[in-house]
Amino acid sequence: MAYSASLFSHIPFHANRFISTKRSSKPPTKTTLLKPPAAIPPLSTTITFDADLPTLAAISGCSVAALAAVISLTDPERRRKLQAEEVGGGDKEVVREYFNNSGFQRWKKIYGETDDVNKVQRDIRLGHSKTVENVMAMLTDEGPLKGVTVCDAGCGTGSLAIPLAKEGAIVLASDISAAMVAEAKKQAEEQLLADSEGAGPVMPKFEVKDLESLNGKYDTVVCLDVLIHYPQSKADGMIAHLASLAEKRLILSFAPKTVYYDLLKRVGELFPGPSKATRAYLHAEADVERALQKVGWKIRKRGLTTTQFYFARLIEAVPA
């Protein structure tokens, strides 16, 4: 599902900003706070819909109130239940089925380097790559990564696991999708083994596992753009489990829940398009923070990555 650019403002919205939550003896300044812009920010197509141009034109001419009225008459939850019934399970089964089939082909293109992508997909690629860059910056803030153990939970095609390995980290990369893991392993072999001369980087260990099945202990656990597939009730348990695996820090990215984003997500559900996708869940930052606090963790840094069609809240948590 991909939203049309006609639904939102083109006013620039800064990306790649990090906010540390460490206390300082100096009085706060304007630059220590991350404030939303006065205008409505752009929308990410982490949640998308495939409507045609006449439909988009009609939507762009509607008021927010009219959209809300239309949404109130629809039943996207019914479609969600039918989708789950088709694969014989809930959210996890839907995610596994999607990313092993049509979703794998779509996101392999988006995360890859092929030119066979449309404007929206290219923009999502840019947004995701910025998130990866931001994570690498967070991870290297405190020194080199050589020998640091990292669990990349929900590794996709290896867009984070491979750069981590290149920096010398010892990486366990897992994904619920066997197709994604196979592609990530292939990419790692091509990039890491081909570039290595003598004692090169350590190849990541790849596993097909869902988040709850992960075990072991790691200096850092990272989980990017995965929580969007699960409601907050399930995300709480996932966050708690990921925190139990981390010794020093946990990095999460998720689609933030606001009135505006929630409304546009529901608009997208009115136009599911020809291809099936997973259910999309936005998460309030306060809910994620509460889930961390319950297991004795606190947020140390906050960031926000946005492009025209992508948005992701990024947080780094440490033991309280």
Tokens of 222: 């990272």
**Which residues have a Cβ under 8 Å from the Cβ of 62 and sit 6 or more positions away?**
70
* Confidence (pLDDT) at 270: 60
Instruction: Report yes or no: 8 and 40 within 8 Å, Cβ to Cβ.
Output: yes
Instruction: Report yes or no: 271 and 51 within 8 Å, Cβ to Cβ.
Output: yes
Instruction: Report yes or no: 188 and 203 within 8 Å, Cβ to Cβ.
Output: yes
Helix 259-269 to helix 76-87 angle, to the nearest 10 degrees?
60
Residue 93 CA to residue 279 CA, distance in Å, equals: 11
* Confidence (pLDDT) at 79: 53
Instruction: With a cut of 70, list the residues of the chain below it in pLDDT.
Output: 1-89, 195-199, 260-261, 264-278
Q: Which spans in 189-309 are helix H?
A: 194-195, 232-245, 259-269, 285-294
Helix (H, G, I), strand (E, B) or coil at 308: coil
Stated pTM of the model: 0.74
Helix (H, G, I), strand (E, B) or coil at 89: coil
Residue type, 201: P
* Confidence (pLDDT) at 279: 73
Q: Report the residue count for the chain.
A: 320
Query: How far, rounded to the nearest angstrom, does the alpha carbon of residue 91 sit from its chain's CA centroid?
Result: 16
* Confidence (pLDDT) at 263: 73
The 10 Å CB-count burial string (b at 16+, else e) for 161-194 is bbbbbbbebbbbbbbbbebbbebbbebbeebbee
* pLDDT per position as a tens digit, 258-298: 776 677 666 666 655 544 566 789 999 999 999 999 999 99
Instruction: Report yes or no: 280 and 47 within 8 Å, Cβ to Cβ.
Output: yes
Instruction: Report yes or no: 121 and 310 within 8 Å, Cβ to Cβ.
Output: no
Tokens of 95: 């995610």
Residue 90 CA to residue 77 CA, distance in Å, equals: 12
CB atoms within 10 A of CB 212: 12
What element of type H or E holds 150? strand 149-153
Instruction: Report yes or no: 185 and 206 within 8 Å, Cβ to Cβ.
Output: yes
Q: Count Cα atoms within 13 angstroms, Cβ side, for 155.
A: 34
